[in-house]
Amino acid sequence: MEVARKLLIIYYNNPNCLKKVSILGNLIYQSKKLCYAYLYVDEKNAKSIIENIKQINGVTKVEVSLTEVEEYAFKI
Protein backbone atom coordinates (compact mmCIF):
# COMPACT_ATOMS: atom_id res chain seq x y z
CA MET A 1 0.00 0.00 0.00
CA GLU A 2 1.44 3.31 -1.09
CA VAL A 3 0.63 6.51 0.80
CA ALA A 4 0.51 9.81 -1.10
CA ARG A 5 2.89 12.27 0.53
CA LYS A 6 3.80 15.92 0.05
CA LEU A 7 7.17 17.48 0.74
CA LEU A 8 7.03 20.74 2.66
CA ILE A 9 9.95 23.16 2.94
CA ILE A 10 9.87 24.98 6.27
CA TYR A 11 11.95 28.11 6.91
CA TYR A 12 12.54 29.01 10.55
CA ASN A 13 14.32 31.45 12.86
CA ASN A 14 14.63 29.26 15.93
CA PRO A 15 15.63 25.58 15.63
CA ASN A 16 13.66 24.76 18.79
CA CYS A 17 10.43 25.05 16.79
CA LEU A 18 11.39 21.92 14.85
CA LYS A 19 10.44 19.76 17.83
CA LYS A 20 6.83 20.86 17.39
CA VAL A 21 7.03 20.56 13.60
CA SER A 22 8.38 17.00 13.72
CA ILE A 23 5.23 15.85 15.53
CA LEU A 24 3.12 16.76 12.46
CA GLY A 25 5.06 14.71 9.91
CA ASN A 26 8.30 12.97 8.99
CA LEU A 27 11.22 15.40 9.37
CA ILE A 28 13.93 14.15 7.00
CA TYR A 29 16.43 17.01 6.73
CA GLN A 30 17.42 20.13 8.63
CA SER A 31 19.92 22.76 7.50
CA LYS A 32 21.29 24.59 10.52
CA LYS A 33 23.25 27.12 8.47
CA LEU A 34 20.47 28.14 6.05
CA CYS A 35 17.60 27.59 8.53
CA TYR A 36 15.26 25.34 6.57
CA ALA A 37 13.91 21.82 6.97
CA TYR A 38 12.16 19.17 4.84
CA LEU A 39 9.01 17.56 6.18
CA TYR A 40 6.92 14.83 4.55
CA VAL A 41 3.19 14.84 5.35
CA ASP A 42 0.14 12.92 4.11
CA GLU A 43 -1.40 14.52 1.04
CA LYS A 44 -4.93 14.31 2.49
CA ASN A 45 -4.09 16.42 5.54
CA ALA A 46 -1.53 18.72 3.90
CA LYS A 47 -3.58 21.93 3.95
CA SER A 48 -4.52 21.67 7.61
CA ILE A 49 -0.96 20.74 8.58
CA ILE A 50 0.42 23.75 6.69
CA GLU A 51 -1.91 26.04 8.62
CA ASN A 52 -0.83 24.43 11.92
CA ILE A 53 2.86 24.85 11.05
CA LYS A 54 2.39 28.53 10.16
CA GLN A 55 1.03 29.16 13.67
CA ILE A 56 4.13 27.76 15.41
CA ASN A 57 6.42 30.45 16.83
CA GLY A 58 9.77 30.55 15.04
CA VAL A 59 8.47 29.40 11.64
CA THR A 60 8.81 32.16 9.03
CA LYS A 61 7.54 30.49 5.84
CA VAL A 62 6.13 27.17 4.59
CA GLU A 63 6.33 26.11 0.93
CA VAL A 64 5.17 23.02 -0.94
CA SER A 65 7.97 21.43 -2.95
CA LEU A 66 7.72 21.75 -6.72
CA THR A 67 9.08 18.26 -7.39
CA GLU A 68 5.56 16.81 -7.55
CA VAL A 69 4.42 19.40 -10.08
CA GLU A 70 4.23 17.81 -13.52
CA GLU A 71 6.32 20.54 -15.18
CA TYR A 72 9.24 19.84 -12.84
CA ALA A 73 8.92 16.05 -12.60
CA PHE A 74 11.70 14.04 -14.18
CA LYS A 75 10.51 11.22 -16.39
CA ILE A 76 12.74 8.18 -16.56
User: What CATH number corresponds to the domain at position 17?
Assistant: 3.30.70.260
Residue 71 is assigned to a structural domain of this protein:
no
3-state secondary structure of 35: coil
Residue 72 is assigned to a structural domain of this protein:
no
Average pLDDT over residues 34-60: 94
Residue 36 is assigned to a structural domain of this protein:
yes
Residue 76 is assigned to a structural domain of this protein:
no
Q: What is the pLDDT of residue 17?
A: 94
Q: Are 68 and 6 in contact (CB under 8 A)?
A: yes
pTM for this entry? 0.84
Residue type, 51: E
Average pLDDT over residues 22-36: 95
What's the number of domains the chain is made of? 1
Instruction: Print the domain residue range for 30.
Output: 5-65
Residue 32 is assigned to a structural domain of this protein:
yes
Q: What is the pLDDT of residue 73?
A: 58
